[in-house]
Structure 1
Amino acid sequence: MTPKPSKADIEDIIANGVRSVYQPIVDVIHGEILGYEGLSRGPIGHALESPLQLFAHAEALGLLPELELTCRAQSVSQFTRRGFQGKLFLNSNPHAFVDPHYPKGRTIEYLRDSNLTPDHIVIELTEKYLTEDYEVLKQALEHYRKMGFQTAIDDLGAGYNGLRLWSEIQPDYVKLDKHFVQGINTDPVKQAFARSVIQLCDQLRTTLIVEGVETPAELELLQDYGVQYVQGFVMSRPDELPVSPSHKLFSLAQQRKVHDQHLAEDLASWVRPVDPYTELGEVWLRLEREPSTHAFPVVSEGKPTGFIQRSRIYELFSKPYGRELFSHKPVYKFIAPHSLIVNRSTGLSALSQMVTSEDDLMARQYFIVVDDDRQYLGVGNTRDLLRKLTDIKLRSARHANPLTHMPGNVPTNEYIEELIRQKQPFQLAYVDIDHFKPFNDTFGYSLGDELILKLSQLLKERLRGRGQYLGHIGGDDFVVVSTHNDPLPQLRLMQQLYREAVRNIVVSSGHSANAYRAIDRHGEERLFSLPTLSVGLLRVQAPMPDCLDALGGTLAQIKHQAKKLHGEGIALADWQES
């Protein structure tokens, strides 16, 4: 049995053994790093290497303030020394905050020594260790805020007081506990919880960070929900010098550009903003001069704070003595609650989720579009958003394959052309069914359709994901476009699964699974085996082709080579500029 550590053991670790490790927090919309969470560890291989054990024993022995300050000093100094950029999230134990022996002013000293300023720092409170003394804790946090620090609640949902603390201190960030993230792609309960937290963050203007994201499937679902900031092994593990997720960031940014070809900035129109201290009477005069304007953005030093809506001014001025009471009031007092402010690169699908997440749809008739520095660009309205989404869906339906409902030739070609324009490397797999016509002629179109539907089902099951595009370009011809995952292993597995599926379809329909006789394309009768899959895979990377047509010759060759393999392998080629 391991003996309990003594006070001297903890003091020795505080003096010599604390290590700082970091984990990046990633903006998966823009493909950038928001900052790093600074975490502390005991000596490698030591019984107190785990921070949970280390902090628990330090608190029991009355050494929590000393340990907390040492960890903070280490995190700040190493952050600068290692050249990290962005914000530093300092994981803090709330019990240390309210300890009467906790010295004041040390954090500012640490920042000054490392040439950092408070706006670089986010103080993270771990919900697992929340104190019940809310008033003291609020006073401490208010003290930090006045000095320019931001705040965050870590491990939201892991304890019992997270929501209460959220409402009490109104943090700048909340971090969803990993329990609600692990396996979220297959758990409807966790999905419902995550959607609720996302909606609550939107309504309370709190930035959500989802931590503990470990798999691409979890990341994909969270991206579909519109989550912007994630942290977890899927990007990088905590380390003294964490592996840079630069290749993943590039992939995310490029995928965003390609998948969201229609962005919020496309819907933005310039509306002359008003200053927050403009009198309401002046805005009323503008309304009379501009009858087509229904919402004015309120902007201070280039950054919007919300809307003042025509309907709200009418409501105020229609009250008894309303004009006399409100004409000289500053406009900022009447900004619409939950005014929606979005980045220019927000995709229309994510924007639609933001608009519909608010119960009061009147509050989301308009949205303000900003650039990456939160500078005002223009105003969009929900009517134009819905019209654009409807047009996109109608166009998609018009060009979809009627049997499988997968994208057809036109959207598939456009997608590949966009990849080429963005100079995004990709792999293009051509998939078709061997000897499909003689099978169709012999067994009938109904059974032939079953084979096509089975192939589309396998493609969706085996090659589904944010980095995969699936198209049905006609008859028994399909394509898979992969932008970051290597599709080769799944394509090989799919060939095997398809062979087994075809045999089962034929047998269950009452036919023999043996070879059959049919007329070939030359008009001769011969023996055919059951259909298999021909697959050719073309790798396209720099130097990129000028257009899709440039790939035509290489694609034709790879299709021809794939047919010679009779479903027993995959033809591979790299595109080369001729």
Structure 2
Amino acid sequence: MNCNNCSVSTLTFDIRLSGELNHSIIPIAIDHLERQGLDVSLKDSRLRMGEFGAREFLSFCEDLLETELAEFRINQESYQPITDMHQVFDMEWIDEVIQNERIVSHFQPIVDQDRNVFAYEMLARFHDADGKVIYPNTIFPAAKSRGRLYALDRVCRMTAVRAAGQLSGEKAFINFIPTSIYSPEFCLRSTIDLAHQTGVDPNQLVFEVVESEKVDDLEHLKHILGYYKSRGFQYALDDVGEGYSTAEVLGELKPHFMKLDMQYVNGVSQDAAKQKVAQSFLEKAQAVGSTPLAEGIETEEDFLWLKAQGYELFQGYYFGKPAAAPLAAKTAS
């Protein structure tokens, strides 16, 4: 990867063609693109061009190609079927959202056993130029299709760090996607510099690994978390998947906080299977010295059951929904 992945730079397309028919089209395509004043290069049956060139190539050649023998990639990521290029073009709107930082952070309280606010999770909310809300299940697939996950993850982190300046000593849990960071020393420098510039105490920030169970490069994750820790920040795992099911692996990661996923929290007070998972999770957290946090609490009964087992922190609509400003959670009655 290169630093352009963290900004909304011009996309570079590699188009790889196989088969006799597709090879015969290459000189025709190059001639057409050059006549349009578009830059294109050729190496080993692989055409390289910018986005304008890729749009023109697909428009001119798609009906001529054996599409099952044609692939493309953007910014040196994995190759995809050439028919998926349309989706990349259709998602161009994500560039404007990122470039103009149409993102705000909302605050959801995380409380302790006495229901006092211990922290807030900083949750990104997106909108278009007209102020219309764009939901995460739309924004992240769009960013992925255009190779913008790196840039989106960065601007979300930066927005959350700025918002953390509104807090009065509570911790701020800030999500990040570890696969969007190829070099922590390089990719996270601006985030850490911003924390210092805004006067946010590093110990106040907790960087939360999202999609923990999808991370298959443990050494890379350890490198990222070690970098955070060396600079005074804490970190959390949002869920312990199969890849982190052993105490040995968790012991290597040494998360400051471990989150029990809401699928095991909602209704846990009445569900023996969920209780078994919650108890096992708690034992793992305690074994590695991690603070256990249960998220997705919606009822008093679930809160009291988890509290009785030894869970220390709690999050969910029962204590407060995400809001544009920090809000006090329910106080003990």
TM range (shorter): 0.5 to 0.7
- The reply to whether residue 71 of structure 1 matches residue 156 of structure 2 is yes
- Go from structure 1 to structure 2 and tell me whether the alpha carbon gap of 1:101 and 1:53 turns closer, same or farther (over 3 Å shift): farther
After superposition, what is the alpha-carbon deviation per residue over 1:235-261, rounded to whole angstroms, capped at 9, x for unaligned? 00012125421xx23x1xxxxxxxxxx
Distance in 1 (alpha carbons) for counterparts of 2:133 and 2:320: 24
SS of structure 2 residue aligned to 1:214: coil
Which residue in 2 is equivalent to 1:8?
92
Whether the 8 Å CA contact 1:25–1:229 is kept in 2: the answer is: yes
| Cα shift at 1:101 | 11
Larger Rg: 1
After superposition, what is the alpha-carbon deviation per residue over 1:306-348, rounded to whole angstroms, capped at 9, x for unaligned? xxxxxxxxxxxxxxxxxxxxxxxxxxxxxxxxxxxxxxxxxxx
After superposition, what is the alpha-carbon deviation per residue over 1:444-490, rounded to whole angstroms, capped at 9, x for unaligned? xxxxxxxxxxxxxxxxxxxxxxxxxxxxxxxxxxxxxxxx4xxxxxx
Structure 1 alignment gaps of length 5 or more: 252-483, 485-578
Equivalenced residues, count:
243
In structure 1, what residue type is equivalent to 2:294? V
Which residue in 2 is equivalent to 1:161?
243
SS of structure 2 residue aligned to 1:95: helix
- The reply to whether residue 59 of structure 1 matches residue 152 of structure 2 is no
SS of structure 1 residue aligned to 2:208: strand
How is 1:97-496 mapped onto 2 (pairs within 5 angstroms)? 97-98=181-182, 103-127=187-211, 130-156=214-240, 159-163=241-245, 166-245=250-329, 248-249=330-331, 251=332, 484=333
- Go from structure 1 to structure 2 and tell me whether the alpha carbon gap of 1:140 and 1:241 turns closer, same or farther (over 3 Å shift): same
Greater relative CO (CA pairs within 8 A, separation 6+):
2
- Go from structure 1 to structure 2 and tell me whether the alpha carbon gap of 1:72 and 1:104 turns closer, same or farther (over 3 Å shift): closer
Distance in 1 (alpha carbons) for counterparts of 2:226 and 2:277: 29
Whether the 8 Å CA contact 1:195–1:225 is kept in 2: the answer is: yes
- Go from structure 1 to structure 2 and tell me whether the alpha carbon gap of 1:23 and 1:13 turns closer, same or farther (over 3 Å shift): same
In structure 1, what residue type is equivalent to 2:154? L
Q: How large is the RMSD of aligned CA atoms in angstroms?
A: 2.6
In structure 2, what residue type is equivalent to 1:214? E
SS of structure 2 residue aligned to 1:139: helix
After superposition, what is the alpha-carbon deviation per residue over 1:491-513, rounded to whole angstroms, capped at 9, x for unaligned? xxxxxxxxxxxxxxxxxxxxxxx
| Cα shift at 1:232 | 0.5
SS of structure 2 residue aligned to 1:124: strand
| Cα shift at 1:222 | 1.2
| Cα shift at 1:212 | 0.5
Distance in 2 (alpha carbons) for counterparts of 1:56 and 1:228: 34
Q: Percent identity?
A: 28
| Cα shift at 1:102 | 6.1
Structure 2 alignment gaps of length 5 or more: 1-85
- Go from structure 1 to structure 2 and tell me whether the alpha carbon gap of 1:11 and 1:101 turns closer, same or farther (over 3 Å shift): farther
- Go from structure 1 to structure 2 and tell me whether the alpha carbon gap of 1:48 and 1:135 turns closer, same or farther (over 3 Å shift): farther
Distance in 1 (alpha carbons) for counterparts of 2:162 and 2:96: 20
Distance in 1 (alpha carbons) for counterparts of 2:213 and 2:179: 7
Whether the 8 Å CA contact 2:119–2:172 is kept in 1: the answer is: yes
In structure 1, what residue type is equivalent to 2:122? G
- Go from structure 1 to structure 2 and tell me whether the alpha carbon gap of 1:223 and 1:123 turns closer, same or farther (over 3 Å shift): same
- What is the TM-score of this pair, normalised by structure 2? 0.66
In structure 2, what residue type is equivalent to 1:58? A
- Go from structure 1 to structure 2 and tell me whether the alpha carbon gap of 1:235 and 1:121 turns closer, same or farther (over 3 Å shift): same
| Cα shift at 1:127 | 2.8
- Go from structure 1 to structure 2 and tell me whether the alpha carbon gap of 1:134 and 1:162 turns closer, same or farther (over 3 Å shift): same
Distance in 2 (alpha carbons) for counterparts of 1:17 and 1:61: 17
- The reply to whether residue 27 of structure 1 matches residue 112 of structure 2 is yes
Whether the 8 Å CA contact 1:127–1:162 is kept in 2: the answer is: no
